[in-house]
Structure 1
């Protein structure tokens, strides 16, 4: 199936700064696709080029097979929802939603019908005659979404749409936004720096860094099989271990020496041989914490260490454990401990256990990304 929206070798520079560098990206019709990355990675620039607010220096943008690169925003079948809502303060909810159809010179009966459909879709019929100043942040955002959808665009662009809202409201609106997408069935492109938002709403995610795409894939693939240290660290948290392969156990597993840590077994998810240097990612939730030394199989690892920090999060607790020269973070759901076993506390000696295939081999990270590749120490 061909791409519905395609960025083809797109580059955008601002003076000496390259915001987007040679990006080629295919987005399918009807999917929710997220552009995810830190500030300055190029995600909003890509969105602005799709909207027509900015133009690429090189490359082109195609929508449904048509080159839209030279078209101004008002001639593109796309609409944008902004973080700031951008509602008209002097107009009612109904008139804000109906502004686009009115500018398109639709007849009054059609405008009334379309606006009523949007009010129903975003559950704001009871607030149709209110002004934006009388609405909550979440209600304003729903008005902005309805106003963007009423003209039936082929693509809806969402630029950090929930960033101004508090956590619980963001979580609720993510569910509502997903339901709206299912109802209207058009392509959503969602820009965010929030990994949780992207993971929960997206069919696929493009992780961006310094103007390029590091990885594209479904949320589970991005999280469980990152292709780079940047992706592994930016999507969730992870521990990194560096070592050298000392023994090829079989075609699947190898033994590796981690300096200042000890010998561990790893899964050969990338081709390795004795003498190779490796860089391993190990998610905190993959590590099981116990007070007693666990029995392990030939493909499991167990190492002891001292608890240096404990942070209670309600549903789970995080432990920072000093193992030789390394400080690892482990995350445990409380019910994983035995009923008669009290959770470890600061200063306790504990054991960390994980299976070889819980780790994932990566390339060595770039020095300039180092600050993104370490877990916080408190």
Structure 2
């Protein structure tokens, strides 16, 4: 599929601070694409340059093959939904949605039809005559979404649209937003610092850090095969180990030494040779927690440790296990009735087991990363 919205070598500086640094990014027509990263990473600046609220110091922005860099916001076929809703408090829901079509000089009949369609789309037909102050936060956000969609933009920009809502409401609106996207079929660009939101709604994600893009890909690829330690740590939780390759088992697997772990088997996700220093990421849910030393296959790894912390979440329990200098996080899913079982508790000695395929090699070892790549204490 051809690129629909393209940022080509865009850079944006504010004084001595570079918010976006030589970014090239292609977004496809009709996909839901998330810009994900911590505060100050450049994701909102990139969104503002797509909307026309900000201009790149270098580079161009293209939409559907046309250079839109010089166009002001009102001349771009792009609309934005903000975290703050930005509704007109003195206008009804219906008049808020009708505002754009009136500016565009639609006929009264076209306006009425368009507003009715949007009220149906966001399930607010019974609330068209209410003022924003009479609505819940979730309903206000749906009005903002309807107002942004009524003019049928080519791209809808969503800037942290659910950040002001509580968890249950965010989860419900994510499902509704995904259904609305499927119905209208236009390109959604979703800006968020919330990994769960990005993972659940996106076709693809761009993870940003310090003004550059660390990785672009589908959620599963970003999670399972991160390109850097930053991506691995930012998307969910992970355990980092560093060690040295001691043996090449075959073309796919190697053996390496990790302090306090001894010799473990790893999958050669990166090209490695005997003597190389490596970084390894192991997600908590990949680790099996056992009171007894488990039976092992040639591709299994196991290490003994002591439980330092236990957090029960209902659907699962998280364990922090001290293994020498390493503090490992493991996650046990509760697939059976737990009151009939005796689970590991604080102070217990346990074994952590994982398959060589379940670790993932990150970028080659760098001396400046020494001591950095361990999971932070809970």
TM-score interval, smaller chain = over 0.9
1:219 to partner: Cα distance: 0.3
Kindly provide the CA deviation profile for residues 301-355 of structure 1, in whole angstroms up to 9, marking residues without a partner as x. Answer: 0111110110111110010111122110000012379986411000001011000
Work out whether residues 286 and 354 of structure 2, in 8 Å CA contact, stay in contact via their aligned partners in 1. Answer: yes
Query: Partners of 1:269 and 1:362 in 2: how far apart?
Result: 8
The equivalent residue for 2:255 is 255
> Where in structure 2 are the equivalents of 1:28-47 lying within 5 Å?
28-47=28-47
The equivalent residue for 2:165 is 165
1:269 to partner: Cα distance: 1.1
Q: Does 1:227 align with 2:227?
A: yes
Would the alpha carbon gap of residues 336 and 366 (structure 1) be closer, same or farther in structure 2, given more than 3 Å must change?
Answer: farther
Query: Partners of 1:28 and 1:365 in 2: how far apart?
Result: 35
Kindly provide the CA deviation profile for residues 53-87 of structure 1, in whole angstroms up to 9, marking residues without a partner as x. Answer: 00000000000000000000000000000000000
1:370 to partner: Cα distance: 8.3
The equivalent residue for 1:63 is 63
SS at match of 1:351: strand
For normalisation by structure 2, the TM-score amounts to: 0.97
The equivalent residue for 1:309 is 309
Work out whether residues 93 and 127 of structure 1, in 8 Å CA contact, stay in contact via their aligned partners in 2. Answer: yes
Query: Partners of 1:117 and 1:365 in 2: how far apart?
Result: 56
> Where in structure 2 are the equivalents of 1:184-223 lying within 5 Å?
184-223=184-223
SS at match of 1:55: coil
1:375 to partner: Cα distance: 3.3
Query: Partners of 1:268 and 1:339 in 2: how far apart?
Result: 41
Structure 1: which 5+ runs fail to align? none
SS at match of 1:4: strand
Query: Partners of 1:367 and 1:19 in 2: how far apart?
Result: 24
1:376 to partner: Cα distance: 4.0
Would the alpha carbon gap of residues 39 and 108 (structure 1) be closer, same or farther in structure 2, given more than 3 Å must change?
Answer: same
> Where in structure 2 are the equivalents of 1:87-102 lying within 5 Å?
87-102=87-102
Q: Which moved more, 1:88-97 or 1:266-275?
A: 266-275
Query: Partners of 1:316 and 1:374 in 2: how far apart?
Result: 22
Structure 2: which 5+ runs fail to align? none
1:374 to partner: Cα distance: 4.7
Q: Does 1:152 align with 2:144?
A: no
Count of matched residue pairs: 377
The equivalent residue for 1:77 is 77
1:262 to partner: Cα distance: 1.4
Q: Which moved more, 1:128-137 or 1:335-344?
A: 335-344
For normalisation by structure 1, the TM-score amounts to: 0.97
Work out whether residues 326 and 374 of structure 2, in 8 Å CA contact, stay in contact via their aligned partners in 1. Answer: no
Q: CA RMSD in A?
A: 1.6
SS at match of 2:105: coil
